[in-house]
Chains A and B, each alone.
Chain A
Amino acid sequence: MREATPEERRRFYAEEWNKREIPDFILHTLSLREFGFDLDGTGPSNRYNQFMTVEQLAEFLRNRAPYSAFSSVALYEHPSMRKGWLKSELALDIDAKDLPLRSCGCPQGKVCERCIDEARRVTIQFAETLRSDLGLRNVFTVYSGRGFHIRATDDSIMTLEQTERAQIVEYITGSVIPSDVTMALGYSKVFRERVARTFKALSEQRLLGARGVRRTLVKKLMAEKEQVVAAIREGKLGKLHDFGGMGPKTFRQLLEFLARLNSGFTDGKVTIDTKRILRLPSSLHSGVSMKCVLVRDIEHFTPDEAIPKFVREREG
């Protein structure tokens, strides 16, 4: 995953980039979006761009071969001034390098295939909840090169403001303890699934950081991790009280610890920011020499689908 050279960027945009890889939800609203570019790897400082047609965008990309290309989640009356906000997609950013729990032991800021796959699983969970609980129909996933974006474009949610979006983040991530954790459907189920996933990925060392949970209890919980995870999933949390040292207060503190970890699986700032720019699907993530692509089948997606030709060639 080495950085793309300026020559490789030029080759990518001249030979490989294809406007047909821009998802319809962006293509059909292209002229209403702000485009931002990082031209030399120093950050997306080239902002306030508007393209009336995809051909204009194509010409820009071919001529400038940017290090990174972004488009806004917002639609504006005047994108080139970022004025006249009309509405914004609901976006969730699941960055593999920022996952609060990673089983691979990658150093901070680095990612490997395993981290990406863990991010993919989280993405599947989040997208499924958006569909099944919130009833959204237009939920897209995008591989960003180092993680995933979920972008929902249902008209009904695009006019939501920051407070409502923040509440969606809480719901999707399972970062609030529900009043009843045993219900078969609804948030109660979402919370259990998230807590079970988090607990499963938790190391003993990490759990020792939970306030109020004693070392002996941590050891017992870790020793019977599979049963604990199953009990959480099935809503039989009463079983956890059978562990010595798990009083009501400790149980609450454990849930609070897990809920806090849950909240870190997506960057909430991205979701509540209705003027955010996100990496443009079809463009090149030059930092890791990967394509940012719309994912059509997240269940079977592997980053191989996003490797640009020049990388295949340089790796022989």
Chain B
Amino acid sequence: MFVPEYLATLDPFAGEAKKLVESSPPLDSMPQEITERAIARVRWQRKDMLVEPSIEAIRADVLSFYLMCQGVAAVSYPYSRETRIISDATKETIKYRMYDLFKRGHEDACLSVVQRSLKLVQLEGGDGTEIGGKKIPREDFFKIRDGRLEQDGIETIDDRLLPQYLPKYAVRWMDLAPLLRHRRAELTKLYLVNGWAVITPRDLWDMFADFISVKTEEYVASVYEKFSDTGVPSTLLVKVGEGISSLLPPEIGIRGRFAGMPGGKLRPESFPPCVKKALAGVGSGVRNYAITVLLTSFLSYARASPSGRAATRLGDFIKDISVVRDEIAAPIFEAAERCNPPFFKDQPQEKANVYYHLGFGMTTEPRLQESGRSKWYRTPNCQKIAMSAPSLCDPDELCKKIKNPLTYYFRKLAEHARSGG
């Protein structure tokens, strides 16, 4: 039997994991062994994923997980390729660990973790299985099994593996909402009866691993927002982030998979309400904030999608100054013109201030090699916007879940990419 803390290796967001983090030194003072583990997590093969059932091994696993997430948040943005790669790696890790525990007879321990997130019942099997008073035909059980085997590309199966493919549990479909939201599950692919989805052990591992994977993405977004508030992340986090970025496969090879993800032209339809308002032009009270502070930082970070190293110079992430002039500054200047009264008419010096906020110093003729002359300002968090320019803040549903306008944008792009839009 293993220690109760072992459950933290299945759910790094569980109370057991949080306690371990709280009782450890700060993340940015981690020893090299943990730092290396944080980077190595994205390359783990099966056996690497398993953790010894000792407190110190569990602690190392949990700390390296958080270091990995914070490292990625330090050098990229929510839903970036880096975020995706650690999210996928986490999914594979959790899935394999669950498989391993089941195989070793610890199904109950797994279920106790799963049941914190999903309401789950075990089916009796055989002819008498009912869900909410509705009998499940035996033929359907076999069809669910066959469908799952087909999904995994398995044509012949031995008795050892077969139980993983037999319907064994039912979960409330409503509890799967986070997976449906991120298109990690599809309602039309579930076998639903009376609000319950009938699933196999394989499905359960997949679903739970997807849960943790989605939470990982959300955690990276929240850390990214925190960095937007508190400034530059520590050197160690940047080092871990850069280490993970260096392991990304070349972009060409994965273009299909990441189609629609950031790094290309701006997609105004995915902008948050405050940015849309600022782009439409605003009144005299908030012009300065809307144009110089919000639009300048938002459009530059959204367009450059800084990734792979700490974002200190816009010039590190774009190759041609025309991107700054035509795709970032031009819409800012157009929005300024739409203000009432037009912003640059009575404050022409603010045009240079836009480039200053982009990091090119006080100029109206920016050059790529001058990037870094001044500070490249980060996009303010929603709380700051609501305080400094309340009229810009007209939150929609998604706004409630994010703390920075960029997270809104990147999340929308990620959703579009997943839904094939």
User: Residue B174 at the A interface, CB < 8 A?
Assistant: yes
Known: A136-B195, A176-B188. A185 touches B137 (CB 8 A): yes
User: Residue B298 at the A interface, CB < 8 A?
Assistant: no
Give Cα distance in the complex from A83 to B195, angstroms. Answer: 31
Could you give, for residues 185-203 of chain B, a 1 whenever the CB lies within 8 Å of some chain A CB and a 0 otherwise? 0111111111110100000
User: Residue A161 at the B interface, CB < 8 A?
Assistant: yes
Known: A85-B400, A136-B195, A164-B181. A187 touches B136 (CB 8 A): no
Which A-chain residue is minimally distant from B136 (CB atoms)?
A185
The interface residues of chain B lying within 8 Å CB-to-CB of A182 are 143
Give Cα distance in the complex from A157 to B173, angstroms. Answer: 10
The interface residues of chain B lying within 8 Å CB-to-CB of A132 are 134, 193-194
* A167 partner, pick from B140, B147, B174, B186, beta carbons under 8 A: B186
Give Cα distance in the complex from A83 to B400, angstroms. Answer: 11
The interface residues of chain B lying within 8 Å CB-to-CB of A171 are 187-188, 192
Q: Decide if A134 touches B140 in the complex (CB within 8 Å).
A: no
User: Residue B419 at the A interface, CB < 8 A?
Assistant: yes
Known: A161-B397, A164-B180. A187 touches B140 (CB 8 A): no
Which B-chain residue is minimally distant from A84 (CB atoms)?
B395
Q: How far is the CB of B236 from chain A (nearest CB, A)?
A: 36
Number of CB contacts from chain A to chain B under 8 A: 89
The interface residues of chain A lying within 8 Å CB-to-CB of B174 are 156-157
User: Residue B229 at the A interface, CB < 8 A?
Assistant: no
Within residues 166 to 182 of chain A, which ones have a CB less than 8 A from any CB in chain B?
A: 167-168, 170-171, 176, 178-180, 182
Known: A85-B397, A167-B187, A170-B187. A184 touches B137 (CB 8 A): yes
Q: Decide if B147 touches A187 in the complex (CB within 8 Å).
A: no
Which B-chain residue is minimally distant from A274 (CB atoms)?
B397
Known: A136-B195, A185-B191, A274-B397. A167 touches B143 (CB 8 A): no
The interface residues of chain B lying within 8 Å CB-to-CB of A170 are 187-188
Q: Decide if B147 touches A179 in the complex (CB within 8 Å).
A: yes
Give Cα distance in the complex from A287 to B144, angstroms. Answer: 50
User: Residue A244 at the B interface, CB < 8 A?
Assistant: no
* A160 partner, pick from B136, B177, B182, B196, beta carbons under 8 A: B177
Give Cα distance in the complex from A167 to B137, angstroms. Answer: 25
Q: How far is the CB of A1 from chain B (nearest CB, A)?
A: 37
The interface residues of chain B lying within 8 Å CB-to-CB of A42 are none
Known: A183-B143, A184-B140, A186-B192. A83 touches B395 (CB 8 A): yes
Give Cα distance in the complex from A168 to B185, angstroms. Answer: 12
Which A-chain residue is minimally distant from B419 (CB atoms)?
A163
Could you give, for residues 392-405 of chain B, a 1 whenever the CB lies within 8 Å of some chain A CB and a 0 otherwise? 00111110100000
Q: Decide if A164 touches B177 in the complex (CB within 8 Å).
A: yes
Which A-chain residue is minimally distant from B186 (CB atoms)?
A167
Within residues 132 to 164 of chain A, which ones have a CB less than 8 A from any CB in chain B?
A: 132-136, 156-157, 160-164
The interface residues of chain B lying within 8 Å CB-to-CB of A167 are 180, 186-188
The interface residues of chain A lying within 8 Å CB-to-CB of B132 are 135
Within residues 153 to 168 of chain B, which ones have a CB less than 8 A from any CB in chain A?
A: none
Known: A85-B400, A167-B180. A185 touches B140 (CB 8 A): yes
Q: Decide if A187 touches B415 in the complex (CB within 8 Å).
A: no
Which B-chain residue is minimally distant from A171 (CB atoms)?
B187
Give Cα distance in the complex from A136 to B194, angstroms. Answer: 8
User: Residue B183 at the A interface, CB < 8 A?
Assistant: yes
The interface residues of chain B lying within 8 Å CB-to-CB of A184 are 137, 139-140
Known: A135-B195, A167-B180. A186 touches B397 (CB 8 A): no
Q: Decide if A161 touches B193 in the complex (CB within 8 Å).
A: no
Known: A161-B181, A163-B183. A185 touches B193 (CB 8 A): yes
Which B-chain residue is minimally distant from A174 (CB atoms)?
B188
Q: Decide if B397 touches A134 in the complex (CB within 8 Å).
A: no
Q: How far is the CB of A272 from chain B (nearest CB, A)?
A: 11
Give Cα distance in the complex from A132 to B174, angstroms. Answer: 14
Q: How far is the CB of A270 from chain B (nearest CB, A)?
A: 16
Q: Decide if B192 touches A133 in the complex (CB within 8 Å).
A: yes
Could you give, for residues 138-153 of chain B, a 1 whenever the CB lies within 8 Å of some chain A CB and a 0 otherwise? 0110011011001000
Give Cα distance in the complex from A85 to B400, angstroms. Answer: 9
Give Cα distance in the complex from A187 to B173, angstroms. Answer: 13
Q: Decide if A134 touches B143 in the complex (CB within 8 Å).
A: no
Give Cα distance in the complex from A161 to B181, angstroms. Answer: 7
The interface residues of chain B lying within 8 Å CB-to-CB of A136 are 195
The interface residues of chain B lying within 8 Å CB-to-CB of A161 are 181, 397-398
Q: How far is the CB of A158 from chain B (nearest CB, A)?
A: 11
Jot down 12 A-B pairs with beta carbons below 8 A, ordered by A.
Answer: A132-B193, A133-B192, A135-B192, A135-B195, A163-B181, A164-B181, A167-B188, A171-B188, A176-B188, A179-B147, A183-B191, A185-B193
Extra contacts, 12 of them, besides A170-B187, A183-B144 (Cβ < 8 A), are A133-B193, A133-B194, A135-B192, A157-B174, A160-B177, A161-B398, A163-B181, A171-B187, A183-B139, A184-B139, A186-B193, A187-B187
Interface residues of A (CB under 8 A from B): 83, 85, 132-136, 156-157, 160-164, 167-168, 170-171, 176, 178-180, 182-187, 191, 274
Closest 9 CB pairs of A and B: A135-B195, A186-B191, A167-B187, A176-B188, A184-B137, A133-B192, A156-B174, A164-B180, A171-B187
